[in-house]
Structure 1
Amino acid sequence: MSRILRHIIAGLLIPAAVAQGETFTLKNCLSEAKSSNTTLRVAAYDQTIAAEGERIGKSGYLPRVDIQGGYTVQLDPQAIDLGNGRTVATQQKDYTFASLGIYQTLYDFGRTDARAGHARTLREAALYNYAGHEQDVFLKVVTAYFGILQAQKLVQSAEDEVVQMTEHLRVARNLYEQGVVTRNDLLQAEVRLAGSQQSRMDSINRRDNAWLLLNYLIDRKPDFRADLEEGATLPYSAVTTAPLAQVPADHPEIKALEKAVEGSEFDVQESKGGYYPELFAKAGLDYVQNRQVKEQAIMAATIGVKFNLFDGQATTGRYRQAIATRSRSEQALRQVKAALGLEYRMAVNDANVSMERIKVSEKAILQGEENLRINKERYQAQVGTATDVIDAQTLLTQARTDYYRSMFDYQVAVARIKKARGEL
């Protein structure tokens, strides 16, 4: 008996020994996830990419400056025929050249404005998308955190059951040795103890897996362990006062899709601008090494207009594609609003039901403890059966399991409510 108790106590102390003196609150975990989670690190690059995309989109407002140069060798120098077999060279056989050109769009019927607007909305959408990823990660952290607390309680409940079944086996063995009960009681107690030990191992495995998940989410080493705050809760009263079907308009997922709709409208404007001409100005300096001419460097300025006559229906295709993309974004926005409303209402229902389950299971635990005490006394007084004791212990374990699961379901439901409202 003492050996079993020492084993149980050692098992309970192992997590504390590797915790390295740390106590983790839920706030600590969320803070670590915010700064270290790999999913959020990847999402952060989307903001950087979108910011550079905005820089590219605005580049159309500025002139384009190109410079080029080179060295050319001809088989024969360029010349003109004066007749009577006479020719005059107009170019050297080999020469260097260079040119500098400055090109500025003066007016393109809103295409540059649309590109810049689309890039801006992408940057803003990236910010909201990151906030949405944060909400997703935070929900996973909350689920893992309370999953560990639940698993630890289930481990404790399983340990208690092992202790109770070990004690019951001792009583059954004593009674059997006294010839008071049959060997059936002894075998039944041994089988039930083995089942309790397996349940304990399953609970320990679930606890260890929950720790692996939390460590992954907060970017800790897989073997990291710490003491978690036993009384951790998420406040719920402030949420229940909100209208049942309301999801805030500033929810990050909604705002991100609204920006997507706005960006697709800019796409439509830009693609539509492809049907119109472009006014431009160009200034250039061209130099060609040529001893045969007086002016080797020529400066010029141009104001002109460009108009595409045919591009294989590419402009029409881009315009229709932009229209379809805008429609898809609008439909996605409606779908997300409906989905968030559904998730909110379902989470509220789950939280309310879990609260009722907590109240019922609390009373069931007290009743189960009293039922087990009575049946143990009856068995020891030889007026009850071993089956009654085992059934009573099973009922108590089930009541405790129901209670811990109800607590877990309640906290996760509250987290889902907050996520659906963008408040996690």
Structure 2
Amino acid sequence: MYFPVVSERSLTSGPRIGGALWILMFGIIALLPVRGAAQPAAVVDDDTSATLSLSLDETLARAQEESFPARSAEATRRAATARKRQSLGVFLPRITAREQGLFTTDPVNAFGSKLRQERFAQQDLQLGALNTPDRVDQYGTQLEIEQPILNLDGIFERRAASDAARAAGHKAERTEAIVAFRAKKGYYGLLLAERRVGVIDSALAAARATRDQAQALFEEGIINRADRLAAAVRVSELESRRSEAVARRDNAADQLRVLIGLEDDVRIEPTDSLTRESALVGDVSLDAVNQRRSDMQALRARAEAARQKTRSRWLAFVPTLNARGTTGWYDDTPFGTNGQSWTAGVSLSWSLFEGYQQIGRAQEAEAQQQRAEIALEQQALENDVEITSARRDLRAAQERIDQARTAVAQAEESLRIRSDRYAEGMARTTDLLQAEATLAERRLAYLRALYQHNITVYRLELLTEQSMTR
């Protein structure tokens, strides 16, 4: 229903009222409680936690140092390095020291114990002493050394451990890149949520002004009750949307807090603004990406480790050569040194058959090697598809930003025209409310376009592991 046009005659008929008096009357009407209309609700912030202001750079620094994925990847890298260090056993000796105590009346042990202690005497050769000896106490201090000489399977096992440690290092680098991308995405997600609340606040302020204006016009009899209620309903709708937007903002802040490993109960407040990143996207060489990217290097190192593991399993059939030496001091008191002796030797061992265990382990290693090579090929193909898709999405995001900016300007101009017409009584309340709603949606669409553009740029940086922003 359009508003009736009030003629100049109807305004001048009857007693004349000064302009100042009209302004005073409308001001009093605007301040009066509106019966049947929703009142502005006070916004109560239930979150009493402390606030932590963070820039994007500060967020990235915290994420690299404190995020759970980064710390876990670093622990995995240290574990792989420790396994590589363990493989040094194929070259280095094993040294063992022990102290043993022996108490016996067994003829053989008693005879040997006295010999080791160098206490054997002439009377110990008597038949009675040999058959039923008295209790003999023996303490032995021994030092044993085992030195690997040739263990081909162990050599290739060490190479596999070295490649696995290198793969874990590249995997940690990739995790850092992923954490940085997620931190940027979370930070800009929080910025988007903050700006969404701001846009809704602006729309809510305009809707409340329209509601108050509609109430005043209803009191004047210019509009009907349906138009007045439509303005009140719009305010209630925006208040509900604001509550939802505030909840989304708080959830985004909590998610970012978990992402950067911030265990304190604080509310993150971003200090940067949601602006368009200046992207410098040139030609991307897929071959260069596959060679440079840390996860591809990790996959190649993992495949090489699998190959070395396969060789190690098959070389387990080759004989191994090791040396061993033992020296000891023996006495009837702990750590005594009355008797001393040593033993040295070399052993050549060859495992001929273990019930298909060795063959099964070798075949399993071959299958793991094939699996690692397939994963490398698959990731290379996925990189091609993902990079092409990201470049396509970036072009679309740039177009959406331009389109959304134009739509915002058009919606602002449309709202200005409808507001002027509404003030003159030449437009409906629903038209004005629709224009306000359209402007709010266009502004939100522009913010989403900025967010999607920036996230696409960061995703392309993650896929190529090279900076594309100024």
The residue aligned with 1:89 is 130
1:329 alignment partner, SS class: helix
CA contact (8 A) 2:146 2:323 kept: yes
CA apart distance, 1:286: 4.8
CA contact (8 A) 1:149 1:230 kept: yes
The residue aligned with 2:415 is 372
Q: Counterparts of 2:349 and 2:235 in 1: how far apart (Å)?
A: 88
Alignment of 1:407-422 (within 5 A): 407-422=450-465
The residue aligned with 2:284 is 242
Q: Deviations for 1:179-218, whole angstroms, at most 9, x for unmatched residues? A: 1211100111111110111112222222222222222223
The residue aligned with 1:65 is 95
Match of 2:104 among 74, 81, 91: 74
The residue aligned with 2:68 is 38
Match of 1:120 among 138, 141, 162: 162
CA apart distance, 1:337: 2.0
Q: Counterparts of 2:321 and 2:288 in 1: how far apart (Å)?
A: 50
Q: Counterparts of 1:163 and 1:231 in 2: how far apart (Å)?
A: 22
CA contact (8 A) 1:77 1:93 kept: no
Distance 1:232 1:283, change over 3 A: farther
CA apart distance, 1:25: 2.9
Match of 2:255 among 199, 206, 213: 213
CA contact (8 A) 1:26 1:232 kept: no
Match of 1:351 among 390, 394, 413: 394
One-letter amino acid of the counterpart of residue 208, structure 1: D
Distance 1:74 1:325, change over 3 A: same
Match of 1:161 among 203, 226, 239: 203
CA contact (8 A) 1:162 1:197 kept: yes
CA apart distance, 1:367: 0.6
Distance 1:257 1:243, change over 3 A: closer
Q: Counterparts of 1:231 and 1:407 in 2: how far apart (Å)?
A: 7
The residue aligned with 1:390 is 433
RMSD: 3.0
Q: Deviations for 1:347-398, whole angstroms, at most 9, x for unmatched residues? A: 2222211110110010100110111122222223222212211211121111
The residue aligned with 2:24 is none
CA apart distance, 1:287: 5.4
Q: Counterparts of 1:283 and 1:227 in 2: how far apart (Å)?
A: 67
Is there any run of 5+ residues in structure 1 with no aligned partner, and where? none
One-letter amino acid of the counterpart of residue 130, structure 2: A
Q: Counterparts of 1:70 and 1:223 in 2: how far apart (Å)?
A: 60
Identity %: 22
1:67 alignment partner, SS class: strand
Q: Which has the larger radius of gyration?
A: 2
CA apart distance, 1:129: 1.0
CA contact (8 A) 1:33 1:218 kept: yes
One-letter amino acid of the counterpart of residue 179, structure 1: G
CA apart distance, 1:234: 4.2
CA apart distance, 1:233: 5.2
CA apart distance, 1:246: 6.1
CA apart distance, 1:115: 1.9
Determine if the alignment matches structure 1 residue 178 to structure 2 residue 223.
no
Match of 2:448 among 394, 397, 405: 405
Q: Counterparts of 1:72 and 1:353 in 2: how far apart (Å)?
A: 84
TM-score by length of structure 2 reads 0.79
The residue aligned with 1:27 is 57
TM-score by length of structure 1 reads 0.87
One-letter amino acid of the counterpart of residue 150, structure 2: Y
Q: Counterparts of 2:275 and 2:74 in 1: how far apart (Å)?
A: 29
One-letter amino acid of the counterpart of residue 159, structure 1: D
One-letter amino acid of the counterpart of residue 317, structure 2: Y
CA contact (8 A) 1:253 1:336 kept: no
Alignment of 1:309-328 (within 5 A): 309-328=352-371
1:116 alignment partner, SS class: helix
Alignment of 1:335-350 (within 5 A): 335-350=378-393
The residue aligned with 1:50 is 80
Q: Deviations for 1:280-305, whole angstroms, at most 9, x for unmatched residues? A: 22222255669xxxx96442322231
Determine if the alignment matches structure 1 residue 135 to structure 2 residue 165.
no
Is there any run of 5+ residues in structure 2 with no aligned partner, and where? 1-29, 34-38, 112-125, 333-337
Distance 1:254 1:212, change over 3 A: same
Task: Name the count of aligned residue pairs.
Answer: 408
Q: Deviations for 1:222-257, whole angstroms, at most 9, x for unmatched residues? A: 4233442115554421x3332478634121111111
The residue aligned with 1:259 is 301
CA contact (8 A) 1:96 1:289 kept: yes
Alignment of 1:262-277 (within 5 A): 262-277=304-319
The residue aligned with 1:193 is 235
2:142 alignment partner, SS class: strand
1:138 alignment partner, SS class: helix
2:327 alignment partner, SS class: strand
Distance 1:138 1:74, change over 3 A: same
Distance 1:254 1:32, change over 3 A: same
Distance 1:103 1:233, change over 3 A: farther
Determine if the alignment matches structure 1 residue 363 to structure 2 residue 406.
yes
Distance 1:49 1:137, change over 3 A: same
Moved more, 385-394 or 402-411: 385-394
